[in-house]
């Protein structure tokens, strides 16, 4: 036994040394890659080219998967590895792009700049050499003076206060000042801005929290208001920072957000409330849980770890949202008879019907959720 162990130790040393040398080469190659990325950043800065190039990334991943298969390597492993490398590259580029302004020196006033989202954009604009001022309730007596010579005013306040703030600030704005808002509903604020201000107007909705550290691949919805050409530099700035800009009408935006935000958050709230009512032992259920349950429960716990007033504003923002949630509850009630009768066949029929409606997305959902599940397995 001792002899075998000694032989093993002797034979493995050169193998480990070879692996160490290969690792050093990998690190050297990554450093060389990083140097090339720096050159790309410089070129993108000069030409105002966005950080994120989805077609380029997906084309690269596809080629690497093919090459991995030919080299007898797991294509999924190769994709995971390069997703990390590409993400790191984008974040590095985005951080450097944060110091590049499309219109450096432009004067920006952020109403609610002391709030989470307001602070986030204040920092971004300041890094890109914009002249940024914030306006809070304590400074309102100086609002008229602060609006002199301002190029862009961003309203970043709670939903229920947005329209009132727009009415109060609009009389102080110059005719060429751009007026924008950051709320998660768009029809009413956009209408109010157009009514109160005769200059350029644009609606913005960042689909992320103010705790984000980067705009890399973050989505910002843009709803055109008035004089879109004058507002274009703002869109270009977001893109330069690495954001994905999605344009939509205010009506389309609000309809989609009813599903994406209000319904999703309310359904998650309902799940959490039910677990509470049943006095579920969360920690114990996790010991028995599959990764998919942990993922679902993680989203529930995430909701209740945040600000209740913020979510109440999102869920109850409009009568259309509240009506949708009533429809959702009524839809759930239609299943009561199926449960009472233990009608498994009806369940299967409904399941298959809905499955057909989801169509190809189901396969995409399987791939994406499997990826997340595998990441959870690695983590826990």
Lowest mean pLDDT among 12-16, 51-55, 154-158, 310-314: 51-55
Does residue 61 contact residue 87 with C-beta atoms inside 8 Å? no
Name the band, by pLDDT with cuts 50, 70 and 90, for residue 99.
Answer: low
| Structure confidence at residue 97 (pLDDT) | 58
**Packed helices 344-358 and 361-379: angle between N→C axes, nearest 10 degrees:** 100
| Structure confidence at residue 37 (pLDDT) | 81
Report the percentage of the chain scoring pLDDT > 70: 94
Say which residue the tokens 């239609």 belong to. Answer: 334
Mean pLDDT, rounded, of the chain: 90
**Distance from the Cα of residue 214 to its chain's centroid:** 10
Tell me the mean pLDDT in the region 281-307.
90
CATH superfamily of 2-97: Chorismate mutase (1.20.59.10)
| Structure confidence at residue 3 (pLDDT) | 64
d(CA 199, CA 202): 10
Tell me the mean pLDDT in the region 155-181.
96
CA distances from 342 to 198, 249, 302, 347 (A): 62, 45, 34, 9
Residue 98, pLDDT above cutoff 60? no
- So where are the chain's domains? 2-97, 107-247, 253-379
d(CA 264, CA 359): 21
Identify the H or E element spanning 108: strand 107-111
CA-based nearest residue to 180, from 144, 150, 160, 210? 150
107-247 folds as Rossmann fold (3.40.50)
Q: Which CATH architecture has domain 253-379?
A: Orthogonal Bundle (1.10)
| Structure confidence at residue 167 (pLDDT) | 97
Q: Concatenate the DSSP letters of all residues of 129-182 into one string.
A: T-EEEEE-GGGGGGHHHHTTT-SEEEE-S-HHHHHHHHHHHGGG--TT-EEEE-
| Structure confidence at residue 80 (pLDDT) | 83
Fold match flag (107-247 vs 253-379): no
Name the band, by pLDDT with cuts 50, 70 and 90, for residue 374.
Answer: confident
pLDDT in tens, 4-14: 777 888 888 88
By CB neighbour count within 10 A (0-12 exposed, 13-18 middle, 19+ buried), where does 189 fall?
buried
Does residue 41 contact residue 99 with C-beta atoms inside 8 Å? no
pLDDT in tens, 16-35: 999 999 999 999 998 898 88
CA-based nearest residue to 269, from 237, 227, 315, 226? 315
Report the percentage of the chain scoring pLDDT > 90: 61
**φ, ψ for residue 180 (rounded to 5)?**
-135, 160
Tell me the mean pLDDT in the region 69-84.
87
Does residue 63 contact residue 45 with C-beta atoms inside 8 Å? no
Q: pTM of the predicted model, to two decimals?
A: 0.75
Residue 77, pLDDT above cutoff 70? yes
**φ, ψ for residue 248 (rounded to 5)?**
-155, 155
Name the band, by pLDDT with cuts 50, 70 and 90, for residue 242.
Answer: confident
> Do strands 219-226 and 201-206 pair parallel, antiparallel, or not at all (unpaired)?
antiparallel
Q: Biggest alpha carbon distance in the chain?
A: 90
């Amino acid at each position: 036994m001792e002899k075998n162990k000694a032989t093993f130790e002797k034979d493995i040393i050169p193998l480990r040394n070879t692996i160490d040398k290969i690792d050093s080469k990998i690190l050297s190659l990554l450093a060389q890659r990083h140097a090339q990325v720096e050159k790309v950043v410089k070129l993108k800065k000069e030409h105002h080219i966005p950080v994120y190039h989805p077609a380029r990334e997906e084309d690269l991943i596809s080629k690497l998967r093919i090459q991995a298969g030919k080299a007898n390597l797991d294509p999924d492993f190769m994709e995971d590895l390069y997703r990390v490398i590409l993400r790191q590259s984008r974040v590095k580029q985005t951080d450097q792009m944060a110091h590049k302004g499309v219109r450096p020196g432009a004067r920006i006033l952020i109403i609610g700049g002391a709030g989470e989202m307001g602070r986030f954009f204040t920092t971004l604009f300041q890094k890109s050499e914009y002249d940024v001022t914030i306006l809070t309730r304590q400074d309102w007596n100086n609002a008229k003076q602060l609006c002199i010579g301002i190029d862009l005013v961003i309203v970043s306040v709670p939903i229920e206060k947005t329209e009132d703030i727009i009415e109060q600030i609009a009389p102080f704005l110059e005719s060429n000042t751009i007026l924008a808002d950051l709320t998660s509903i768009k029809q009413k604020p956009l209408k109010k801005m157009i009514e109160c201000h005769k200059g350029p107007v644009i609606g913005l909705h960042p689909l992320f929290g103010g705790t984000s550290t980067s705009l890399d691949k973050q989505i910002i919805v843009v709803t055109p208001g008035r004089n879109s050409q004058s507002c274009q530099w703002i869109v270009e700035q977001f893109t330069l920072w690495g954001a994905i800009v999605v344009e939509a009408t205010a009506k389309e935006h609000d309809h989609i957000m009813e599903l994406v935000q209000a319904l999703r958050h309310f359904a998650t709230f309902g799940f959490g409330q039910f677990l509470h009512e049943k006095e579920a032992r969360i920690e114990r259920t996790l010991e028995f849980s599959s990764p998919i349950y942990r993922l679902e429960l993680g989203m529930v716990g995430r909701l209740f770890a945040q600000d209740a007033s913020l979510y109440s504003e999102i869920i109850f923002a409009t009568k259309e949202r509240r009506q949708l949630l009533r429809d959702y509850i009524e839809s759930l009630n239609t299943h009561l008879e199926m449960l009472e009768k233990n009608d498994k066949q009806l369940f299967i029929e409904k399941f298959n019907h809905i499955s057909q409606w989801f169509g190809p997305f189901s396969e995409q959902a399987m791939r994406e959720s499997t990826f997340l599940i595998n990441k959870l397995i690695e983590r826990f």
